[in-house]
Structure 1
Amino acid sequence: MSSRLKAHLYIITANLMFALNYSYSKSVIPDWMLPEGLCFARIVSAAFFFIGIAFATIRERVERKDILRLALASLLGIGGNQYIFLKGLNLTSPVDSAIIATVGPVLVLIISAFLRTDKITFLKSIGICVGGTGAMLVILYGGITNFGAGHLTGNLLVFLSCLTYAFYLIVVKDLMKKYHPLTVMAWIFGFSSLAVIPVMGGDFVVETKWSEIPPAIWGAIAFVVIGATWVSYFCVASSLRTLKPTTVSIYSYSQPVIASYVAILRGQDAFDWVKLAAAALVFAGVFLVTQSYRFEKKPK
């Protein structure tokens, strides 16, 4: 199997885990565990997991000049992204969250253009506007239909988590080319755990309803920790060794379809016409952006 095919299989697996994560995380927070507690469980467990495996198998040295970049990636992709996402998901629905998350590729493109690693052309600009309209429709309409600021705040927080993750993909790309994915994950989650242990440890230990958690919720927690954290982040890291950040982020378009199907089956949400229209706009924007590379390619 070629390295490129493996990379695509890695990112497909990661997005399947991320899509299921919306529903399973929502079933855990806030009734059984606070967002801070679940974030603590994900980060600290992943730190032990990746550090243990990296020490036992890779034992790769990291250059001193890359430590600051690893710390920044940790702040953006793990500590910032996971915490902000769970706080937002606590206030909004799985379907809204999944649709908003599809603006990730557009955000990656905008940041890449700002950093001059990619270029925004006319067709890409149209795609960005169309996709952004879809995202804003979900964000604003969600707050209106729920008659309160809570849902709107949740949607905005999910959008902010997408922004931090877009920065993460760009920051971590060069590190993945230089080091083994296990090494990078060990450092990133290690940095994050140092930050969350003193801040969120109390919420995890004291506020979690340990004696009341039923087996089904334990299963959901296990999936969020193992599937949506250990497996998914390793898969993303592995895919970035071969694929560009924009290509990796494009796969997030599959998340609304999977997340909506699971959430509706579990009675957590309903897919109304506004969500359908918003999803169509986002997908249309994505199509325009991705096709621009073919239609607007300059002759040599």
Structure 2
Amino acid sequence: MNKTAKVHLALFTVNLIYATNYVVASKIMKDAYITPFAIILLRVCGASLLFWFFQAFTFNERVQKTSDYLRFAYCALFGVVINQLLFFKGLSMTVPIDASIILTSSPILVLLASVIILKEKVTWLKLLGIILGAIGAVMLIGGGDFSFKGENTWGNLLVLLNASSYSVYLVVVKPLMRRYQAFTVVKWVFLFGCIGVLPFGWSEVQQVQWSTMPGWVYLILGFIVVGVTFLAYLLNAWALRFVSSTLVAFYIYLQPVLTSIIAVLSSQDELTFKKVLFSLLIFTGIFLVSYSGAQEAKKRKKPEEV
């Protein structure tokens, strides 16, 4: 398997994990087994331990410049602290379909951040791909059912701020990915992230009734720590070494496609012409954004970027 295929497989895996997370994370919070900030503290600190543990048995890469520690902290603020606190809190105050629709704004936000921060050039192919993907994703999710009115308003607003924060992270972490291995970046980002979320989650963790918690809740927490955090952040960080931040964010449009496929396979939904059409729009968008990135890389004489 060539590098391009591996990158796309990694991004596909990440978004399959995220698609599953919408349902399982929402369930344990709705059932009041554990509060949002408690989940975040367990998630960030648990994943941080895994990053440092596994790198200790692989390689130890030194940080080249003192100023890079500040950039790690900066990335942690947007990619871990603000991002995760707002997402889980917002998800507990809204419904998964609203959160999914709001997060389709991420590629557009990433593109804007890339233009402002990294002075990235916007091509017509990339812009067309994002528009097609956004239309396909919103229609596939069911955009007509979305509203900022009612009891979900504050939750939807927090999810929107979460999407904005993560978009900034995907852009500002890119320079670090050019200098360091993915493990090195995420282990430092999550170490600073632990410090940031500790004041918010410590009291809520102490209030959890661990002895009365069902076994399936522990399994979901394990999935959130190992899959949604450790594996997903590592794969995203690795992919950022070879592709643009915009393409990494664009893959979020696959989440409603994967959710629909899972629903059809489990006989909870049926395959329709509209769903196939909207899915094709998303895949067309992925191709256009990826192709645009490859053409830009050739012009810069960096064949490793796809």
- Asked whether the two chains share a fold, i.e. TM above 0.5, the reply is yes
2:35 corresponds to: 34
Identity of matched residues, %: 33
1:98 corresponds to: 100
TM-score by length of 1: 0.80
Assess if the C-alpha contact under 8 Å between 1:108 and 1:246 holds in 2.
yes
The residue identity in structure 2 corresponding to 1:215 is: G
Q: CA deviation at 1:232?
A: 0.6
Assess if the C-alpha contact under 8 Å between 1:126 and 1:288 holds in 2.
no
Superposition CA RMSD, Å = 3.7
Counterpart secondary structure, 2:241: coil
**1:130-161 deviation per Cα after TM superposition (whole angstroms, max 9, x unaligned):** 888987x98996446xx73x312212211211
Change (3 A) 1:132 1:248: closer
The residue identity in structure 2 corresponding to 1:82 is: Q
Q: CA deviation at 1:77?
A: 0.7
Query: Any residues of structure 2 matched to 1:114-133 within 5 Å, and which?
Result: 114-115=116-117, 117-120=119-122
1:198 corresponds to: 199
Q: CA deviation at 1:224?
A: 1.2
Assess if the C-alpha contact under 8 Å between 2:247 and 2:286 holds in 1.
no
Counterpart secondary structure, 2:234: helix
Aligned counterparts of 2:264 and 2:78: Cα–Cα separation in 1: 31
Q: CA deviation at 1:180?
A: 1.1
Change (3 A) 1:53 1:290: closer
Aligned counterparts of 1:263 and 1:28: Cα–Cα separation in 2: 20
Q: CA deviation at 1:288?
A: 11
Change (3 A) 1:215 1:68: same
Aligned counterparts of 2:195 and 2:94: Cα–Cα separation in 1: 29
Gaps of 5+ in 1: none
Assess if the C-alpha contact under 8 Å between 2:177 and 2:241 holds in 1.
yes
Query: Any residues of structure 2 matched to 1:151-190 within 5 Å, and which?
Result: 151-190=152-191
**1:206-261 deviation per Cα after TM superposition (whole angstroms, max 9, x unaligned):** 2x232222122222111111111111111101111111111111211111233466
Aligned counterparts of 1:257 and 1:40: Cα–Cα separation in 2: 30
Aligned counterparts of 1:284 and 1:6: Cα–Cα separation in 2: 17
Structure number with the bigger relative contact order (C-alpha 8 A, sep ≥ 6) is: 1
Q: CA deviation at 1:129?
A: 7.6
Counterpart secondary structure, 1:58: coil
Aligned counterparts of 1:205 and 1:15: Cα–Cα separation in 2: 32
1:226 corresponds to: 226
**1:264-293 deviation per Cα after TM superposition (whole angstroms, max 9, x unaligned):** 999xx999xxxx9xx89x959957984994
Aligned counterparts of 1:126 and 1:218: Cα–Cα separation in 2: 43
Aligned counterparts of 2:19 and 2:238: Cα–Cα separation in 1: 19
**1:16-61 deviation per Cα after TM superposition (whole angstroms, max 9, x unaligned):** 1111111110111141110001111110101111122223322111
Counterpart secondary structure, 1:57: coil
The residue identity in structure 2 corresponding to 1:75 is: L
Aligned counterparts of 1:212 and 1:270: Cα–Cα separation in 2: 34
**Farther off after superposition, 37-46 or 247-256:** 247-256
1:19 corresponds to: 19
1:64 corresponds to: 66
Provide the aligned length of Structure 1 versus Structure 2.
288
1:8 corresponds to: 8
Q: CA deviation at 1:102?
A: 1.9
**Farther off after superposition, 211-220 or 8-17:** 211-220
Counterpart secondary structure, 2:57: helix
Change (3 A) 1:26 1:59: same
**Farther off after superposition, 94-103 or 257-266:** 257-266
1:55 corresponds to: 56
Change (3 A) 1:284 1:227: closer
1:248 corresponds to: 248
Aligned counterparts of 1:242 and 1:86: Cα–Cα separation in 2: 29
Q: CA deviation at 1:123?
A: 7.7
Which of 84, 87, 90 aligns to 1:88? It is: 90
Counterpart secondary structure, 1:29: helix
**Farther off after superposition, 115-124 or 76-85:** 115-124
Aligned counterparts of 2:128 and 2:78: Cα–Cα separation in 1: 28
